[in-house]
């Protein structure tokens, strides 16, 4: 009789503990996934940083046509080999 009572309470306590254990394991899984994502983003940012170092001031940004004209006028006599011009757009400005 005492053995049946032990198994009964063991089963009840295990069933009550199961949701707590499950949510804990789910949170651990989310934490591990976020650590992996963080490592992946660090690798991507490291690669971009290395590429930026390789370009070493060969990238210039401009926003408007006047900006590109000014940039070209300023750099006309000292343009470096493999220089890249990239146009950036402000999302707040509506194009006409």
In this predicted model, what pLDDT tens digit does every residue of 21-80 receive, in sequence order? 778 878 888 888 999 898 988 888 888 778 777 777 666 666 677 777 776 766 664 556
In this predicted model, what pLDDT tens digit does every residue of 4-19 receive, in sequence order? 888 888 888 888 887 7
In our burial notation (b when 16+ CB lie closer than 10 A, e otherwise), range 17-32 reads: eeeeeeeeeeeeeeee
In this predicted model, what pLDDT tens digit does every residue of 49-65 receive, in sequence order? 787 777 776 666 666 77
pTM score, whole prediction = 0.38
Mean pLDDT of the chain: 74
> What residue segments make up the domains of the chain, in order of their start?
1-55, 57-96
């Amino acid at each position: 009789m005492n053995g049946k009572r032990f198994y009964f309470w063991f089963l009840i306590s295990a069933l009550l503990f199961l949701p707590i254990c499950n949510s804990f394991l789910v949170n651990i899984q989310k934490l591990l996934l976020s650590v992996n994502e963080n490592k992946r983003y660090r690798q991507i940012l490291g690669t971009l940083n290395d590429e930026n170092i390789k370009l070493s001031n060969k990238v210039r940004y401009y926003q408007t046509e006047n900006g590109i004209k000014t940039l070209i006028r300023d750099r006309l006599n000292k343009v470096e080999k493999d220089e890249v011009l990239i146009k950036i757009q402000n999302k707040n400005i509506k194009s006409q």
